[in-house]
Amino acid sequence: MDINTLYGILLAIGLSMIIMFFQNLKRKKTWNGTVTKIKKIEDIDDDGFSNIHYRIYYSTDDGKKDNIDLPDRLYESDFSDLEVRSILIKESGKDYPKIFRA
C-alpha cells in the first residue's frame, strides 16, 4: 500500500468522524416551537425524477427562527395534519420532532 492510499483512508476516516460528531450534536438538541410556514419543495434530479420534501419553518419558544426538512414519506405518514401554529417538540436523541396534541 502506497502512502497516498494511506493518506486517503485516514482522510476519509477523519471526515466521517467529523460528520458523525455534528450529527450527534444535532440529535441531542431539544426545542419546542411553533410552525410559521410549511413549504412543499419539488426538485428534479439529473435523471428527470422528482424528489419531494417539505420544509417546515418554525419559531422556538425563545424566539429563534429555524427550519427542518422532512422527506415526503415521513411528512405524509406522521405530519399530514401539521398546520401553521401547530406546536412541535424535538426531544434529545430523536431525528425529527413530533406534533404536540393536547
pLDDT in tens, 67-89: 999 999 999 999 999 999 999 99
Q: How confident is the model at residue 44 (pLDDT cuts 50, 70, 90)?
A: confident
DSSP characters for 65-90?
A: EEEEEEEHHHHHHHSTT--TT-EEEE
Beta bridge partners of 31: 90
The domain total for the chain is: 1
Which CATH number characterizes residue 92's domain? 2.40.50
Q: Residue 21 falls within a domain, yes or no?
A: no
Which domain does 45 fall in, by range? 30-99
Burial (Cβ within 10 Å: 0-12, 13-18, ≥19) of residue 40 = exposed
35, part of any domain: yes
The H-or-E segment that residue 35 falls in is strand 31-44
Whether 20 is in a domain gets the answer: no
Q: Give CA–CA dist 90/15, Å, rounded.
A: 27
